[in-house]
Every structure is written in C-alpha cells, then in structure tokens.
Amino acid sequence: MRVGTEQINLLCRSNSSVIMLNDAGEPFFDGALGDQISLADEQKGLVHWVIANKKSAGRFSDTLPQQPLMYLPLISSGIVRAVLVIKLADNARLDLAQRTLLESFTALMTLVLEKDELLRISREARMKEDTQKLQSALLDNLSHELKTPLTIIAGYLDALLLYHEWPKDALELLEESRLASLRLTNSVDAVLDLTKLDTGNFKPNYALCDVKDVVSEAVKQAVIGSNVNRVKVECPQEPLAVQVDFYMLTQALKNMINNALTHGPAQGDVDVKVNSLNQKVLINIIDQGGGIPKDVLAKIFDKFYRGSQTKKGGLGLGLSISKRFIELNNGTVEAANLSPQGFMMSVVLPVIDKEEKL
Amino acid sequence: MSKGLVLVIDDEPQIQKLFRVILTHAGYDMISAGTGKEGLSELVYKKPNAVLLDMGLPDMEGSEVLLRIREISDVAVIMVSVRGQEEVKVQCLENGADDYVTKPFSAVELTARLQAVLRRKTTPGIVDEVFENAGLRLEFNTRAATLHGQPLKLTAIEYGLLTLFIKNAGRVLTMRQILRDVWATDNDEKLNSVRVYLNHLRQKIEADPAQPKRIVNEPGIGYRFNLL
C-alpha cells in the first residue's frame, strides 16, 4: 500500500494515504498508510459517505468537488476495502493520461487488498480446522478412555450377577454397583456431549425419523431399575416423520424424562404425550410433582442450574443439554407449572410431509 | 457342544476377557485378535462362525477391517461401538456388517444379537422355495402368503419388503438399504415411504402392530426382521 501511495504521489505530485477499514467496516483513521493527512471531522464524514455510497467524492468528482481532497473507494467483490485520500497541490490539474494511470493504480491496490484479505481468511479457516481436528481427536480419545473401563466394570458386574450364586446381602451390593455404573455412564455421556457442544464438535447428522421411535428409545434408556412402570406413553397411530439427529433428540428427551422421574412424587407416573398439529409435533412430558417456583422457571435449562429443593445428585447438565440439542434440531422447548398439580415440559418440532406420492 | 466359534477383534485385554466370560457361558468358543491385521489372518486360518469387531483398533479403523473381511468372507460380523457414532454404524451396516452392539453392552443383549445373526447364517433362509416361521408362510414361486392359514393380501411393495426381510432375517437393514432394494432408488426424499409401507406391512403380519415382534425398529438405524 505504501508503495502504491508513493507512486501516486510521483504521478500527481501529491500527498496520499490509504485508510483501511476494520472488520466492522469502520474506517481506521489512526492507522492510515502512506502520508499522514490529518482530516477534520467533516472530512472524516466524507470518508464515511464514500464507504456507505461506494462512490468517489471530493475534488474531480460529482460529490462536493469544491473540497480540496480526493476520496476514492477501493472496492472488491462489491465491498469497500479501503479509502484512498489524495491531497493535490491547489492549482494542480489532472490530464487524461494521469487520470487513467490513477485508475489503474487504484485497481492494482484493490487487487493487493483483496489478496491479503483472502490469505487472511484461508489462514484463519485452516487454523480453525486444525484446532477442531485436534479437539475432536482429543475428545474421541477421552471418550474411549472413559468408556472402556466403564464397559469393563458394568460388564463384569453383569457377568457376576448372571453367572454366579450370591448370598442375599452380596447380591444387593452387586446390584447397587451395577446401577451406579449405569448412572456413571449417563453422567459421562452428558459431560462428553456438553464438551462436544461447547467446542463446536457436535455436527447434527439429520435423518428422517419417526418421532415414536425416538420417544420409545428415550423411554427405554431413561427407565433403569425401579422406574420401569412409571412412564406412560401416548402416541398417535400414524408415523410422524421429523428431520432430526436421532442421537441428539433421544438424549434430549431421555434427560427430560429422567428429570420428571426424579422431581415427580416417588412412585408417581410420568406421562409422555405426543401430538401433531399444523405441521408440528408436540411432545409433552408431565410429572405430578409440585412444579417449580415461577422465578426460576426460565433458569431450569441453564447449565449447572440445580433447584434449591433438589434432593439427590445430578450435575445440573441434563436439561441444558436437552435445550441445546433440541435447538440444534430446529425445535423449541418450554416448561410450565400445571394447576392444580404437576409440571410440564413441552418440545415442539417441525414435521416433514407425512404421506408422499410414489 | 459348542454353539460356534467367535473371533473377537479388540485391542483391550480386559474387554477380551469380558467377551470370553460372556461367550463361554453362552456356549461359544472364542479366539481373539488385538489388531485388524491379526484378526484378518485368524479369520482366514480358523474360519470362525462370527466376528465381534471393535470400531477403533490400533492399526486400522474397524470399518476398514470390515471392508477387508467382506472381500474374502461372508462370516457374520457384529460391530462393537460407543454411543453417538450413528453415521459410522450406518456406514458399516451398508458395507455388510450384520449388526452392532454399543458399549457398555449387557451380556443378554450381546448373546441375543449373536444368536440372531448366527441363525441367519446357519438356517438356509429359503428351503424348497417356501419360507415358514411362526405361522407366517410365503411361497416364492406363486407369491402366495398366509398367516396362520389365512391368505394375506400383499401389494407388490409389501411383498418386496417382506422377501427382502426374510432373506436378511436377524440382520439390521438400514433405511437406505431397504430403499435401494425395494424402490431401486437412492433418493433420500423417499425415505419416509419406507416407513409408511413398513407400517402397512406390520398391520398385516404382526399379531399386535403396536408392539411389533417380527419387524422391529433399530432406533436411528433401520429395521430388523426377527424369526419368532
């Protein structure tokens, strides 16, 4: 750029400077390249005008030709990249040859700017890609390192319970341990999912699914141990096709059902009701618990939020993961207290055309 | 008597031991390999009836080992994966894997799946051009189908679906595999038709279509036809 301004100065016997634009498209006056031409406020205003209108202004132009300075926009791909300001001697005139040369110079300078910009973009993209690859490899490794011992613990406990006779007290301990290993698996899944979400390593893999399949899988995963008969599912007969990432939506619903099982009355039912209306599918998860105070209703989907009356463990991650998974699948989720009793979480997802012609 | 020889390809000794405990109790013999390469040579020399193949091995990806296996053998292959690898699972099933289990798996689940795929490999699916299982009967020459002696009216697509499932009993078929075989298209927009027609078929051949026992859903992956 500096070379460019020097050449222009030689050509036109002028002083000139290039005012670059920052990422937000604002002129960066203090960092002008070439000669330092101090601009008054109204002259700065003219630079803004040039950027906004993508036209030259000042001397030898249609806009405010009485101004002493020339303001030329350097435009590439329809975007103003910089503004070239030229200060000519008062009595200077530009002949045709000089004008043509000036135009060529500005075109060249624009090309240089464009090349710099492209280089910068591709360098950033490559860096981002490298970081993502590294993160993704680290996460895969972490997942493997956490899941392998868990598989061994859960599997050995399973084998001990299945293939051996135990006295009653030992049996109880083994069963408790097996349930704990399953709970730990769930927590590990939650932490891994959240880490993947936070680092942008979770790309949804959309596929057509029947909502019913997703719901029944979520219920299957949510009920372990003593909760088997507590979840009641109501679904319409016909298939309801949604375009979602099966894993994400299953996890989302599973967490919400788990939440309802935990916060509802100890042996109370949890209802999962699926309905379709106006090209949308509505999934309601209802427990018979006391609900939650109004002022924290909005907070339950926040990361690490745990209710003040929360009885047992829990990381406070489940519902925040649910919300993010559902939103990644173009859905919405809300929570509301029911009167006189109960608490409901509702998921809304767009439905894909049901019956298509063959 | 042994129910069959199972080759486990997994690099974790403790996971191998877990498989050994489960498989031995279920009546199988087991051999193991710690790398893909070793697994392939065991496959050639020992000719196992089934392979349990881990998705991540030190020398190559499980999916790559699967492709190499399919170049030389029709052996039953069950992939062992961790959760959330749905795309890879689907890819492996389309490349010829018979089924998959997800870590951590239960002993019951593993042996049930193993039994299902081995059953497919050992019973010749179609004897005398007639298929018969738990009251469902299909004559391939005449295309006549009956359920508990009652004639079944099947449309061409339903018949196509049913024969595809029968030929692959015990095996997980992805939505795309079904689409390609019955509709002869790769057009993803038709995927929902598969679901609609499967539902029609279920209405006709399941005792309780709301709780299907023959055509069961493999969540997020596809469907499996079970012999009852």
Residue A92 neighbours by CB under 8 Å, 6+ apart: A12, A13, A14
Whether residue B114 has pLDDT greater than 60: yes
Q: Which residues of A touch B12 (CB under 8 A)?
A: 148, 152
A-interface mutation test, from B103, B110, B224, most A Cβ less than 10 A away: B103
Q: Does the beta carbon of A142 lie under 8 angstroms from any beta carbon of chain B? A: no
Query: In chain B, what are the domains?
Result: 5-122 (3.40.50.2300), 130-225 (1.10.10.10)
β-pairing verdict for B222-225 and A79-88: unpaired
Radius of gyration of chain A (CA): 33
Task: State which residue of chain A sits closest to B221, comparing Cα positions.
Answer: A246
In tens, the pLDDT along B55-110 reads 889 999 999 999 999 999 999 999 998 866 777 888 899 999 999 998 888 898 89
Phi and psi at residue B96, in whole multiples of 5°? 110, 5
Whether residue A358 has pLDDT greater than 60: no
Q: Which residues of A touch B84 (CB under 8 A)?
A: 189, 193, 247
> What value, to the nearest 5°, has the Cα angle with vertex A311 and ends A309 and A312?
145
Task: State which residue of chain A sits closest to B86, comparing Cα positions.
Answer: A247
Task: Measure Cα distances from B173 to A1, B39, B90, B179 in Å.
Answer: 62, 25, 9, 10
Question: Do B219 and A250 count as a contact with CB atoms less than 8 A apart?
Answer: yes
Domain A207-350 has CATH 3.30.565.10: yes
SS3 content of chain B, % helix, strand, coil (to 5): 45, 25, 30
- From first CA to last CA, the distance across chain B in angstroms is 24
Structure-token pair, residue B217? 């859903």
CA distance B133 to B227: 7
For A358, other C-beta atoms within 10 Å of its C-beta total 9
Question: Do B175 and A355 count as a contact with CB atoms less than 8 A apart?
Answer: no
Average pLDDT taken over every residue of chain B: 88
Name the strand (E) or helix (H) holding B32: strand B29-33
For B207, other C-beta atoms within 10 Å of its C-beta total 13
A·B CB contacts under 8 A: 100
Partner residue facing B192 (CB), from A208, A213, A216: A208
- ipTM of the prediction greater than 0.90, yes or no: no
Phi and psi at residue B213, in whole multiples of 5°? -110, -30
Q: Does the beta carbon of B112 lie under 8 angstroms from any beta carbon of chain A? A: no
Region B159-172: what's the mean pLDDT? 89
Q: Which amino acid is at A329?
A: N
CA distance A266 to B184: 52
Task: State which residue of chain A sits closest to B210, comparing Cα positions.
Answer: A237
Phi and psi at residue A226, in whole multiples of 5°? -85, 0
Q: What pLDDT score was predicted for residue A356?
A: 45
- CB contact at 8 A, B135 and B147: yes
Q: Which residues of A touch B192 (CB under 8 A)?
A: 208, 239, 241, 352-354, 356
The top-scoring range by mean pLDDT among A154-163, A225-234, B166-175, B202-211 is A154-163
Residue B117 neighbours by CB under 8 Å, 6+ apart: B50, B76, B78, B98, B99, B170, B171
- CB contact at 8 A, B102 and B83: yes
In tens, the pLDDT along A30-85 reads 878 888 788 888 888 888 888 888 888 888 888 888 888 889 888 887 788 888 88
Partner residue facing A159 (CB), from B107, B193, B217: B107
Q: What pLDDT score was predicted for residue B161?
A: 92
Dihedral sign computed on CA atoms, order A244, A248, A254, A257: negative
Alpha carbon dihedral B127, B131, B132, B133, in 10-degree steps, equals: 110
Task: State which residue of chain B sits closest to A143, comparing Cα positions.
Answer: B82
Nearest alpha carbon to residue B92 among B116, B59, B61: B61
Question: Do A355 and B195 count as a contact with CB atoms less than 8 A apart?
Answer: no
Domain A2-94 has CATH 2.40.50.150: no
Task: Measure Cα distances from A150 to A91, B77, B108 in Å.
Answer: 85, 24, 17
Alpha carbon dihedral A315, A320, A325, A326, in 10-degree steps, equals: 140
Instruction: For residue A161, name the pLDDT band (cuts at 50, 70, 90).
Output: very high
- From first CA to last CA, the distance across chain A in angstroms is 62
Nearest alpha carbon to residue A235 among A272, A204, A189: A272
Region A93-102: what's the mean pLDDT? 82
Percentage of chain B lying above the pLDDT 70 cut: 95
Helices A246-263 and A168-198, packing angle to 10 deg:
130
Residue B16 neighbours by CB under 8 Å, 6+ apart: B8, B10, B32, B34
Question: Do A208 and B18 count as a contact with CB atoms less than 8 A apart?
Answer: no
Q: Does the beta carbon of A181 lie under 8 angstroms from any beta carbon of chain B? A: yes
Whether residue A305 has pLDDT greater than 80: no
CA distance A336 to A345: 6
- DSSP, res B55: S
CA distance A347 to A215: 12
Q: Which residue has the tokens 């006549």?
A: B144
Name the strand (E) or helix (H) holding A335: strand A332-337
Partner residue facing B103 (CB), from A147, A207, A209: A147
β-pairing verdict for B215-218 and A241-244: unpaired
Q: Does the beta carbon of A205 lie under 8 angstroms from any beta carbon of chain B? A: yes
In tens, the pLDDT along A202-251 reads 888 887 788 888 898 888 888 876 667 888 889 887 778 888 888 899 99
Q: Which amino acid is at A109?
A: M
The top-scoring range by mean pLDDT among B3-12, B124-133, B206-215 is B3-12
In tens, the pLDDT along A11-41 reads 777 888 888 888 777 888 887 888 878 888 8
